[in-house]
Amino acid sequence: MLQRNKKYEVVIVGQFTLDDVVSSELPTRIDSPGGDGLYSLAGVYLWRRGNTGLVIRLGEDFDIDVIKKIVDDSVDFSGVVNIPGVPNIHIWNMFDRYGHRYFINQRWGGQDEDMAPRPEDIPEEYIDDSLGIHIAPFPIEWSIPMIESMPLNGTSDLIVQVDPHFDGIFKKNFGIWKKLLKRIDIFQPSEVEFMQFFGIEKQSDVRGYIKYMREVTKMGPRVCCVKLGDRGAISYDRLTGEVFCVPAYDSQVVDVTGCGDSFCGGFLSSYVSDQDIYNAMVCGAISASFNIEKFGSIHNFSIDPEIVYDRYKTFSDELEKVDCRIIY
């Protein structure tokens, strides 16, 4: 059972980047704050449910006060580690005339060797006094020690959610993940990552993924949630046996960057309160829907919570829980 007297609702562990966004239709935006850590934080912050801790490494060419000025006191920055003499990771985020997206790391920017978070970056109270922790995607050589630092399943009431990095979730790494999954409560890959992991083709009928999701949960997690992009998401709960598929909210698509991260933030923010995967998926979809409507991450932090909850209610009213439940 969850201990509701925790200081923090959710802790986000991820990376921070400065993105140069290039589009064929709009002016170039230089040094737009991003990274999976910031996008995941935005997905949580939209709901204003409780205190959130942030763990990122920050280079010398960005002042965290920029973020502090646009959030309230519910966000704790004790886990922000300043790395002197090193720039932040800088990324070209480019869109061609057909809307295809390309990520290119700029050679002069910071590298994962300096900027990937480490277990020792996490304040002790973030582990001891939080309902949930989200480990966002960063390369597997840095993800492994981070996940290994989490408590084994069943030894703590901390809910550990992991969104794996695409470069480490291949079938050849199955043995590595079999060990890591014993410390993960919610495993949340993208559809492409899930396909890579099991060496399977894309399923036109999402029910084809269920047997693989059940296999994941046999290795440790209670929940496996696969993000399906514009098809929404599908989740399986080992304890209840329930499977739900919730569609994506119909938003005007401007920039899909960070939508998976925002979904994860919204999902965990809801899940730690009632452990209901359906409600969590609806909240995840709403978080992603705001993120997708503009470029970058910063705009998410200025959205009125009343607008968020109005959209949530509208979407919930449109959906019927019974229709989202999958019988298998």
pLDDT score of 27 more than 90: no
Long-range contacts of 192-195 (CB under 8 A, 24+ apart): 192/166, 193/164, 193/166, 193/169, 194/226
Cα atoms found within 13 Å of the Cα of residue 17, Cβ hemisphere only: 29
What share of the chain has pLDDT > 70, as a percent?
A: 99
Instruction: Enumerate the β-bridge partners of residue 243.
Output: 236
pLDDT, mean of residues 54-72: 97
- Contact present, 162 and 148 (Cβ < 8 Å): no
Three-state DSSP at 1 gives coil
129, 51 contact by CB (below 8 A):
no
State whether CATH 3.40.1190.20 applies to domain 8-324: yes
Under the banding of pLDDT at 50, 70 and 90, the label for residue 1 is very low
Task: Give the number of other Cβ atoms within 10 Å of residue 269's Cβ.
Answer: 27
Burial label for 59, CB within 10 Å (0-12, 13-18, 19+), is buried
The mean pLDDT value for 205-212 works out to 97
CA–CA distance, 104 with 187 (Å, rounded to integer)? 27
Q: Is the pLDDT of residue 290 over 90?
A: yes
Provide the greatest CA pair distance for the chain: 55
What's the CA gap between 87 and 303, in Å, rounded? Answer: 30
pLDDT tens column, 146-168: 999 999 999 999 999 999 999 99
Q: How far apart are the first and last CA of the chain?
A: 28
- Cα 207–210–212 angle (5° rounding)? 135
Give phi and psi for 226, each to the nearest 5: -105, 120
pTM: 0.95
Cα(93)–Cα(255) distance, rounded to whole angstroms? 10
Q: Which residues are registered as beta bridge partners of 11?
A: 53, 133
Q: Above 50 in pLDDT, residue 271?
A: yes
How far apart (Å, rounded) are the C-alpha atoms in residues 319 and 286? Answer: 13
Asked if pLDDT for residue 95 goes beyond 70, the answer is yes
- Beta strand ranges found along 59-158 (DSSP E): 75-82, 89-95, 101-105, 130-135
Q: Helix (H, G, I), strand (E, B), or coil: what is residue 137?
A: coil
Average model confidence (pLDDT) across the chain:
95
pLDDT of 4 above 80: no
List C-alpha distances in Å: 24 to 83, 99, 185, 231. 34, 9, 41, 26
